[in-house]
Structure 1
Amino acid sequence: MRRRGRAVIEWAWGAARRTRERTAEFVSHPVAAIRRNVEQLPFDYPPSVIIAVDLAVLAVAIAASVQRHNYFPTALPILAVILTYAFGPLYAFLGVLPRPLMLGVFAMAAEALFLAQPVTGDFAPFILVATAGEIAAIAPKRVSIPVTSAMMLELVVFDSIGHLSEGMLVYSVGVAFGWMAGLMLQYQRRFLYQERDYQEIRAAQAADEERRRIAREVHDVIAHSLSITLLHLTGARHALETDRAVDEAVEALTDAERLGRQAMADIRRTVGMLDARPGTRAPEPSVHDLPDLIDDFVRAGLRVRYTGTDDLTAVSPAVGLALYRIGQESLANVVKHAPGASAEVRLSVDPAAALLTVDSTLPEGRSEHRGSGMGMSGMRQRAELLGGRMTVGPYADGWSVRVCIPLAPGRAPSALSIAAQPDPIVEEST
């Protein structure tokens, strides 16, 4: 018993201390105190909406009290006004949360006090209308429906004893509509939260796709640059081992250094896409840069021949970037998996589709190699994202990579069927 008494005393002492603190804050900064108290409510509605509804209910209660001036000096209307807005001071100074069921009980008690003194054109039933909407907006239907039904029953009871002068049916319908308005607000809040969750999921998916895209870009840049750099280094080593002119070795090392620096710049630019502004990005390579790409491989010692269409105006930047990267990865794979091989790159563009073919020979003693790393999957994904198709596999005595990307969706099937047809054997070029 002593422990219980001590606990009660400690609770009462703490409540009194909190009340003093809240009262002092309200006296010194009333507006800030009201806003802070409203923001701490667990109802997830903007403070302005909650304050506006409470002020509207208070205004209705005061109007209903003024209507009963003929009953003064009786204190029933004043007590009804206090009950209507009792939860404001209770929460502000005592920290008592306005529970939905208690809101309904207080509103019905205030309504009973008002209807005990009937007047013509009574404003008092609108207290029930607003309270039914408040409860429906913050409580589940298993709570709001019984409370709303009890409010309507209260109007029926007072009408049956003659204390509701007129409009019982209208007031009852108003209470029902107030409940419906509150329920719609609750559904709107729920759907808003769902939409926020969906936006977070879509943002995470977009971030994952951007990371995968940047990973493919970095892979393509590194594979291309390292392949050509290794070719230059191999040429320099051969030049030094065979006592050929040192100038050739120096030239090969200079090209390797240039490509290494270019690769580092490309990697920095690609990784910089993570936080760079759109206006500061350097232009991406396109299909117009394919000849320069071929020249880099030729200077590095790879025997490759290029045949392309002159008119490339129908190729969009996205398709051009995909064709460039696929050609870059295909030639890098030739250097990596078939040293000493030769290759031929062919690009044909018509109004329907763009077709890129990279054929390479297989040196003697080399087995067919089917790529299965990021390079192959990245090339295939680039083509499929643009509605195209890529085929990779052996042909005659060599290896072929073919990709067809539609430029006009309505005419794409014919181009894709052309891409599926086998090409004749390509003669090795020097």
Structure 2
Amino acid sequence: MLRVIMFAASAALSARAAWQIVVGWQHGKQRLLDFMRDPSGAFHRHVEEMPLDYPPSVILVADLTLAIASIAAVAQRHSYFPSLVPLLAILLVIFTYPILTVFGVQPRPIPLSLIGLVSEGLFLLQPVPLDASPFVLVVIAGEVAAIGPKHISLPFTAAALAELVVFHMVGPGIDALASYLIAVVLGAMVGIMMQYQRLYLYQERENQTIRTAQAADEERHRIAREVHDVIAHSLSITLLHLTAARHSLQTDRDVDEAVDALVDAERLGRQAMADIRRTVGLLGERPSPVTPEPSLDDVTDLVDDFVRAGLEVDFQLTGDSRIVPATTGLALYRITQESLANVAKHARGAAVTLRITVSAAEATVTIDNTVPGWQVIRRGGGMGIAGMRQRANLLGGTLSAGPASGSWHVAARIPLGKPGLSCAPTGQDDPLRLVRDAFSSVTRKFQESV
């Protein structure tokens, strides 16, 4: 019985591994096709998906520097041909980066360190005068220090230095060994400085978020104080007029005087309401909707609305939408809504291809639209793409948008099964809570005093 259970478990694990391989192959194939159609756009999109805050130009320069050093090292070893050792070393170095940038494999400092040490060892097996191959270690030392923690980058730097010293001692010697050793150390220090810059960028973003939240809180408190003053002033005078009207009717039976008091109370009440509307309007918040938030199932109705308005949309939904959480469904709906609205605004007459795919691991939406005529897609200064990217990032996903092969391409990927953020505002985050509390407090005090 135990043997049967173990066999079934191993079969299940094998099937799962095979399925992951198939899914990974299909994903890599699609990314390769995207790269073949639009190399520049695909490279930038794939680099933006990496968990690094380095611009694509920085990564491209680092890759080119490494390629130049490797090519120079191979060219210096032409006398060793037809030996394949230099070619194996350059293939090991150069083809690592297309795998990272094209197929979406996330860079890891330990594999990069091993690649650098092995490739440099292959180069040093065939020594040449004034060797350029140690610059491979210089570049990789900087890259590892830029993306990895110090407990990885510092040992790699020490291992790189030791490798050069060992080959210098056991071989015919390396010309200008001291210069190479200093260059490796400087490369690692440059990478550490870049990582510090990235950490400072994170800190500055966090500080900016805190300052923005504090400014918003201060503005809400200021508006709440203004509303409190308006309510307290208006209600006090209004209640005085109402008291005078009641006194005129109960004591003097003077209807005209009571009417005059009520007219004044009505006028002050309308004026107070106008002041409150103007002040609360500064909050820039819309009233909470009474209808439920849209979900992924509402995308069909959304597409139908755009089609009836004249937009040509080829829509297809693949997968079971019932497994998509409400927050993820709302994000996918808003991303689709914003993308279709941008098409209708900036590319009238364009043909749109909308694909939404739901799997057990993630939900993806891709929108491609043609650019009619000679119209040029402009990157606006609004919050459309930034808002879509923020929605995806809040749920642990990614979003990329940009031109691709003569069209505009938007792709969002949101993993399933991760906790999202609630879309309904809570009492802690309600910007009108202070206003309502102030109004209730003042009203209660006047009721107690009357």
TM-score (normalizing by structure 1):
0.59
Q: Quick check: 1:121 aligned with 2:118? A: no
Structure 1 contact 116–163 (Cα < 8 Å) conserved: no
* d(CA) in 1 for partners of 2:277, 2:21: 65
* 2:250 paired residue among 241, 248, 268: 241
Give, as a single letter, the amino acid of the residue that structure 1 aligns with 2:166.
Answer: V
Instruction: Give the equivalent residue in structure 2 for 1:209.
Output: 218
* d(CA) in 1 for partners of 2:18, 2:244: 92
Structure 1 contact 137–186 (Cα < 8 Å) conserved: yes
Residues 322-341 of structure 1 mapped to structure 2, 5 A cutoff = none
Residues 24-423 of structure 1 mapped to structure 2, 5 A cutoff = 24-91=33-100, 96-243=105-252, 246-275=255-284
Structure 2 contact 32–103 (Cα < 8 Å) conserved: no
Structure 1 contact 129–175 (Cα < 8 Å) conserved: yes
Distance of aligned partners of 1:220 and 1:18 in 2 relative to their CA distance in 1, 3 Å threshold: closer
Distance of aligned partners of 1:197 and 1:92 in 2 relative to their CA distance in 1, 3 Å threshold: closer
CA offsets 1:254-308 (integer angstroms, 9 cap, x no match): 22222111111111121122139xxxxxxxxxxxxxxxxxxxxxxxxxxxxxxxx
Structure 1 contact 221–266 (Cα < 8 Å) conserved: yes
Shift of 1:130: 0.9
Query: SS where residue 119 of structure 1 aligns?
Result: coil
Structure 2 unpaired stretches of 5+: 1-6, 286-442
Shift of 1:225: 0.7
Shift of 1:201: 2.1
Structure 1 unpaired stretches of 5+: 277-331, 340-430
Structure 1 contact 15–94 (Cα < 8 Å) conserved: no
* d(CA) in 1 for partners of 2:112, 2:124: 18
CA offsets 1:23-82 (integer angstroms, 9 cap, x no match): 433333333333333233333433332222112211221122223333333333222211
RMSD, matched Cα: 3.1
Alignment: residue pair count: 284
Higher RCO (CA 8 Å, separation ≥ 6 residues): 2
Shift of 1:172: 0.7
Give, as a single letter, the amino acid of the residue that structure 1 aligns with 2:267.
Answer: R
Distance of aligned partners of 1:237 and 1:22 in 2 relative to their CA distance in 1, 3 Å threshold: closer
Structure 1 contact 227–336 (Cα < 8 Å) conserved: no
Shift of 1:97: 3.7
Distance of aligned partners of 1:25 and 1:150 in 2 relative to their CA distance in 1, 3 Å threshold: same
* d(CA) in 1 for partners of 2:282, 2:103: 54
Shift of 1:100: 1.1
CA offsets 1:197-250 (integer angstroms, 9 cap, x no match): 222222222222222222221111111111111111222232333446544333
Query: SS where residue 252 of structure 1 aligns?
Result: helix
Task: Compare 4-13 and 185-194 and name the one that shifted more.
Answer: 4-13
* d(CA) in 1 for partners of 2:255, 2:193: 84
Distance of aligned partners of 1:47 and 1:187 in 2 relative to their CA distance in 1, 3 Å threshold: same
